[in-house]
Structure formats: structure tokens, C-alpha cells
Amino acid sequence: MSFSKAKAQAGLFSNTLIWGGTFTIIKQALGELSPMAFVSSRFLLASLVMLPFFASPLFKAGKKQYIQASVLGILLYLGYITQTVGLLTTTATKSAFITGTFVVFTPLFQTMLEKRMPSFANILAIVLAGFGIVFLSSKGASFFGILQEVRTNFSVGDFLTLICAVTYALYIVYLDMISDSMDYRFLTYWQILLTAILSILTLPLLHFTGIEPIRFSFQPISIGAILYTAIFATVLTTIVQTKFQRAVSPTRASLIFSMEPIFAAIFAFFILGEKISPFGYLGSVFIFSAVLISEFFSKE
């Protein structure tokens, strides 16, 4: 493996660690902010922080680049809004499981859109990661308790979260398709700025339709959460993903990202005192094994 590829994978792995930390932070902040108010504040701050450093490429990009980058930004926006609104009518356990299915959808979209079949090692890794996500989400209720819960109590929130998983899988593949053809600074900033604009426009729409009344209460916890998610989990991670994902296949990137629920569970254990079930540990082993198989046995 070349140094550039190793550097890219290390960057994507660091993203997963940062995203894993957001679970606990956002969970605490949502006691003070409504979900879309939080998303809007997060992306607005992120776009303002990046403005002095990333705005100049906006004036150099052509119409085709704006169209492609806008598609990517809309996918990013849809992923956040469907997951956030979905959490209003589904449990965190079901949301984590359904969102994690992007690991399965990504190679399907890679095959359909890029005509690139994942290797046998990556297919095996996808299966292991899928089972790992099931076990990590089960909370030890029963062997396949989470599957039974999803099958018998599939709500509107679950459906929205499934759209989030599909959208994020499309995002990963589409980013791979267009990232080589444009300045990563433009692509990074425009998708964050567009997500901020669309989130702000959505905020009053959800409020006046009664879906989600606007709730702002800027306390130390919510301010800290907005700062962390905007600067580290949005600006930094989007720069890293946009710049480095081009060096790896979408399928391998999704397998690296499947480590996120492991880190989320670790942060929740130490900060919130949430317990990890025996099935959760088994799921972590499965996911970690999937990443290792993809790393050492895949030729992609």
C-alpha cells in the first residue's frame, strides 16, 4: 500500500473517531436545543469559520462544478435532516442500526454507478460489519432482538432513518465520482455552505408545520456541542473526507466508517455510563475484523 493511500485511510479513520464522539455530545445538547436548531447552528458556524480560508475557490468554479457540488451538498443535507427528524419518532438503538446499513448500500451503489464490483474480501467484510452493527445495536435484549423490533415496529422515523442510510451511501459513492475533477477546497466549502442554507430554510418550515417547534437555549453544554461538531465533526472531517476519500474505494471507506458505532459506544460508556452488552462486544469484534479483512486481503 502506498504512503498516500495509508495517509488517506488514517485520515478517514480519524474522522470515524471524531464522529463517534458526537453521539454523547449531541445527546446532551438536545436537552437544550431542538434537533434542526442544532443542525442549523452547527453548519452555520462551520461555514463562517471556513469563509476566510475557503471562499476564494467559489469564484473560480464553473457551472458544471457548481451543479455537481450542489448534488453532493443536497445529499449531505438530506442525510442530516432525515436522521435528525427521524430521531423524533424512533429510538436511538433502532436509529443506530438502520443508519449503519449504509455499509451494505455503498457497494451496491458503487457497482451500479461506477461499474466497480467490490472484491470478495470486501464482500466478506461487509457481511461481518453488517452482523457487527446488529449485535452492537441489540443491547443484549435477544440474539436478533433489534431485527425483531425493526420488523414489528417500523415507524415513520425508521423510514426517514433508512433514507438517511441510503443517502449517505450515495454521498460516499458520488464523492468518489466527482472529487478528482475539482478543487477539494471548493467542494468542501460549497457542500457545507449549502447544507447550512438549506437547514436554516428548513427550520421555520418544520416549526410552522408543527413537526419540530424551534427551541434555542444556549447553555455551556449546547455551546460546547455546537463548537465541537462545527469545527471538528464538520469542518475538519469534511475537509479530510473530501480530500482523502478519492484514494480509497467507496466500499472500503464505508467499512472504515463502520467503526463509528464502536467509538460512540466507548464514549457513551465513559461519559454517560451506558453499558456495553456482551453482544455489543461481539459486534465490535466483528466490525474490527471486517476492517482488518478489507485492509489486508482486499486488492482495492
pLDDT in tens, 69-83: 999 999 999 998 888
pLDDT in tens, 86-117: 777 776 666 777 777 888 889 889 999 998 88
What is residue 3's predicted lDDT score, i.e. its pLDDT?
47
C-alpha cell at 7: 495517509
pLDDT in tens, 117-143: 888 888 888 888 887 777 776 655 555
pTM recorded for the entire structure: 0.85
Tally of CB atoms within 10 A around 123: 16
pLDDT in tens, 34-85: 888 999 999 999 999 999 999 899 999 899 999 999 999 999 999 988 887 7
Average pLDDT over residues 264-272: 77
